[in-house]
Structure 1
Amino acid sequence: MSSQHHAAVHLGGKPAVALFTVALVAFVAETQLTQYVQTSLGFRHPYLIFYIVHSSFLLMFPLHALYLYATSQHTFEALRDSILDALLQHFSPKAEGITQGPSIFPTWRITRLVIFLTIGMSVPSLLWFVAVTMAPVTDVTALWNTNAFFAYIFTISFLKIQVDPHRLLGVVIATAGALAVIYGEADKTDAVSAQQASTTALIGDLMTLAASVGYGAYQVLYKVYAVLPNDPEVQAERRYSRLAPSAEDALMDDDEAAVMEESRALNDGIIRPLPFGLFPNLLTSLIGLCTCVLLWVPVPLLDAWGVVPFELPHGVRTYFTILCIAITGSIFNASFMVLLGVWGPIVTSVGNLLTIVLVFASDAVFGNAVETITVWSLLGCGSIVLAFGILAYDMMKGR
């Protein structure tokens, strides 16, 4: 096996590492901007912001396809035919052992998957958008990113796999570090407003915890049901494979299977495997389309019921901030879905715990919260970095 292929199996290559870095920065920017627009600018309409941000996801696939068209020899027709072929191969009944009859494009299966993915991503995200107005941004970030622990629990529960001591250690250290950041902060309110502030923060923390549990389940189910099993970037996480290989494929190693796939692609003009990140970006765009078409309905209902009066953003600064939230949110979620396929939910979610460190630092610098830095918060941030290092090393060894 070549070294290039080996690197692709375990790390996804330089594109995955670069994408991970971009995702961290985008999440920190989205978090700070979301809190800024709803607190400093006073535009407290989390559902409308959520709807705008998640609807903007639909641009990810067209932009990716346009980039490939401009920088490679792939035509739009080849990209279209390759995507349709991937959808047909992955979601048709034949993939589940039904071989009789002609191939029928699995429209309902794909539609059902997109609806489930939209719900799985939207509910936790909406809870996060609300919670960020009620609790300190560092608390929300820390609790949200404990989805690494829940992703590990759901992985064991859903897939009935044996507990890996290295991964368990990494997840436990990461979760403990996140809690240390939360409860290691100094008092941020005076004695008069402490009780009221703590009550509001508690509600925000509980909402974030519920979002974290839901997002942990979403990550595992996405990896099991949505990711293409034949992409070279996802081969390291075979524990998540739900499709049994054919008898012919079982006799071939990874290199032989790759050669066979390239041979088939040359014969029919289909791009196999798809360009890095293209299929996850397709799903991200479909989630954005589903959000745009279906999830506008609560906006007039909330206004009619007097729960959240409809209000357009006021001022150029508010419009621009929401635009930046949409851009950073799209970048983060698209990157995260790609990384779920490359690294799996456990390593990806623990890796995203590094956003706690970055948000903590940015909150201290830009939010004038230097007084929140304590020994416990520093130890918590260090534990998170250590935990990700353990999991990254374990993944590189190909455990």
Structure 2
Amino acid sequence: MVYQLTSGRRSSFVALVLALGGFVAQTQLTHQVLTVMNYNRPFFVIYVTQSVFTVSGIFHLLYLAMTTRMSISSLCRGLQITIAQRLRVRSSSSDHIRFPYGRFLFIAFTLTAGFTTPTLLWCIGISLSSKPSLTRHKVIWNTNAFFAYLISVAILGHQHQHKKFAAVVLATVGVVLVVYGGNIDSGNDGLHPTRHHTRLVGDLLALLASILYAVYQLFYDAFIEPPLNPLPILGTLPTSESIPLVQEYKDAIYPPPYGLESSFWTSMIGLCTMSLLWIAFPVLQSLGVEKFSLPDDSVVVLAILGAALSGAMFMTGTMILLASWGAITTSITSLLTIVLVFLTDWILGATISTWSIIGSFVTAFAMIVLSYSSPATILIPATQELDT
């Protein structure tokens, strides 16, 4: 059995770039599809986007197989051991691992439901909003940092940290400045009262989505924590000289390379989505909620495909960061999307208010505060191997 002990930060930076870039691209493309291109089928767009998540783990395995000497079979065996350990499975046998399929499916379905519900609510909120409201929805979504901290301290009983709390407050203030300081949607925009009501519903859906997404992040954080150490699920606890050897898994790469487990769970969310959520299409059509129809415009097809691939990038990067940094740090880090969103809006010709710029700088400063409140050591699996 092979053990990998790793450290370094470059891989986390790559995951951060994937998460931030994927979010911005997915949001812009999703809005274009649902509003500008008039393909108002939010559930179908979500179904396609999340189904594409399935390729995350596959691509990661292929990448590792092509760039290292690790075989796909060894990597998969290491994943099997890791998941069994996550699910707290121990065996009295010294030569066999009884994989907990029931618990495994339960976690996969729970992660799928936990991510799909807020995403769908947010997507519906976008479809009810005007173009100026898109920026507001993005920052409302990113307030999940505040809700994640609030829930973790008030409900889960986690220790209160003054610097981390200050970072959350600063980030939230930055969001408030961005959303309300610019008066972009002040009541003088000439919208019909019905449209104002529709927009309010969209905002409330975005807020609910943000809260539920914070709950999802905390659930995944609790499931993946404490940080994975090379502790066996078989036999006695290992030492540097004594690591349990199981014939069937003697060539397993364990723990798996950095991010592979997160990519695997991302793929499982995609697979569960593809296998189960199609059942909702006839139900939604019969209720008149959403009529199922495939896009007949090649531009719309390409935009949906782009949103799906961007969503897979965002989800993979976010799941990796959640496993490395935890829910609160990842949530606050994701607020960098606000700065990127304003840059893309400015490039696309939108007018950026002074308050929006100030709010972005406040959010960036919150990131600096967070960097000093978080532990300096973030373990990242990579290079050093021990063979037994």
- For the aligned pair, the TM-score class normalised by the smaller chain equals 0.7 to 0.9
Q: Does 1:331 align with 2:331?
A: no
After the TM superposition, which of the residue ranges 260-269 and 187-196 deviates more from structure 2? 260-269
Q: Secondary structure at the match of 1:163?
A: coil
Compared CA separation, residues 196 and 262, structure 1 to 2 (3 A)? farther
Structure 2 gap segments, 5+ residues each = 379-388
Contact 1:151 1:217 in 2 (8 A): yes
Q: What CA distance in whole angstroms lies between the structure 1 residues aligned with 2:313 and 2:347?
A: 24
Residues 353 and 261 (structure 1), Cα distance of their counterparts in 2 relative to 1, 3 Å cut: farther
How far does residue 358 in structure 1 lie from its aligned partner after superposition?
1.2
CA-to-partner distance for each residue in 1:340-398, whole Å, 9 max, x for gaps?
A: 011111111001011111112212331x321xx22321221111101111112222546
Structure 2 counterparts to residues 191-210 of structure 1, below 5 A: 192-193=190-191, 195-210=193-208
Q: Name the structure 1 match of 2:296.
A: 314
Where does residue 383 of structure 2 map in the other structure? Answer: none
Aligned residues: 365
Using the TM superposition, give the Cα deviation of residue 32 of structure 1 relative to its aligned residue in structure 2, in angstroms.
0.6
Give the structure 1 partner of residue 356 of structure 2.
377
Q: Distance in 2 between matches of 1:37 and 1:83?
A: 37
- Name the residue aligned to 1:110: 104
Match of 2:286 in 1: 304
CA deviation string 1:58-114 (max 9, x = no partner): 1111111111111111112211211111122221433xxx86997521111110001
**TM-score computed with the length of structure 1 as normaliser:** 0.84
Provide the residue aligned with 2:272 in structure 1: 290
CA shift in 2, pair 1:192/1:364, >3 Å: same
Which stretch has the larger CA shift, 328-337 or 351-360?
351-360
Distance in structure 2 (CA, Å) of the matches to 1:21 and 1:41 = 28
1:51 aligns with 2:47: yes
Cα shift readout 1:312-365 (whole Å, capped 9, x = no counterpart): 112110000000000000000111000001111111100101111111221233
Give CA-to-partner distance per residue, 1:228-280, whole Å, 9 cap, x none: 73259xxxxxxxxxxxxx9968xxxxxxx7x5698969992221221111001
Q: How far does the alpha carbon of each residue in 1:168-214 deviate from its partner, in whole angstroms, 9 at most, with x for none? A: 00001101111110002234585532634432221111001101111
**SS of match in other structure, 2:374:** helix
Q: Secondary structure at the match of 1:309?
A: coil
CA contact (8 A) 2:31 2:126 kept: yes
Name the structure 2 match of 1:347: 329
**1:114-153 mapped onto 2 (5 Å cutoff):** 114-135=108-129, 136-153=133-150
Give the distance between the partners of 1:156 and 1:194, measured in 2 at CA: 42
Q: Hey, what's the Cα distance between the residues in 2 that align with 1:265 and 1:170? A: 46
Give the residue type in structure 2 aligned to 1:378.
Answer: I
CA distance in 1, matches of 2:134, 2:242: 47
Hey, what's the Cα distance between the residues in 1 that align with 2:143 and 2:25? 19
Quote the Cα distance in structure 1 between the aligned partners of 2:192 and 2:246: 64
Q: Does 1:39 align with 2:35?
A: yes
Q: Where do 1:1-399 residues align within 5 Å? A: 8=7, 13-94=9-90, 103-135=97-129, 136-187=133-184, 192-193=190-191, 195-226=193-224, 229-230=227-228, 259=240, 268-366=250-348, 368-370=349-351, 373-397=352-376
Unmatched 5+ stretches in structure 1 = 233-245, 250-256
Structure 2: distance between partners of 1:261 and 1:30:
48
Q: CA deviation at 1:311?
A: 1.2
Q: What is the identity, as a one-letter code, of the residue corresponding to 1:381? A: S
Q: Aligned partners of 1:277, 1:261: CA distance in 2, in Å? A: 27
* Alpha-carbon distance in structure 1 between the residues aligned to 2:13 and 2:245: 30
With over 3 angstroms needed to count, the CA separation of the structure-2 counterparts of 1:16 and 1:157, relative to structure 1, is same
Q: Which one scores higher on RCO, CA 8 angstroms, separation ≥ 6?
A: 2
AA of the residue aligned to 2:193:
Q
- The answer (yes or no) to whether the contact 2:221–2:323 under 8 Å persists in 1 is yes
Q: Distance in 2 between matches of 1:262 and 1:194?
A: 70
Query: Which stretch shows the higher mean deviation, 357-366 or 334-343?
Result: 357-366
- The 3-state SS of whatever aligns with 2:301 is helix
Give the whole-Å Cα distance in 2 for the aligned partners of 1:76 and 1:93.
Answer: 23
- Alignment check: 8 A CA contact 1:261 1:272 kept: no
TM-score (norm 2): 0.87
1:294 alignment partner AA = L
Mark the CA change 1:40 to 1:260 in structure 2 (over 3 Å): closer, same or farther.
farther
- Contact 2:164-2:374 within 8 A present in 1 as well: no
Amino acid at match of 1:130: I
Aligned with 1:272: secondary structure? coil
**Structure 2 CA distance for partners of 1:270 and 1:303, relative to 1, 3 Å:** same
| One-letter identity of the residue aligned with 2:121 | L
When residues 198 and 82 of structure 1 are mapped into structure 2, their CA distance, relative to the original with a 3 A threshold, is same
Seen in structure 2, the aligned counterparts of structure 1 residues 100 and 84 have a Cα distance that, compared at 3 Å, is: closer
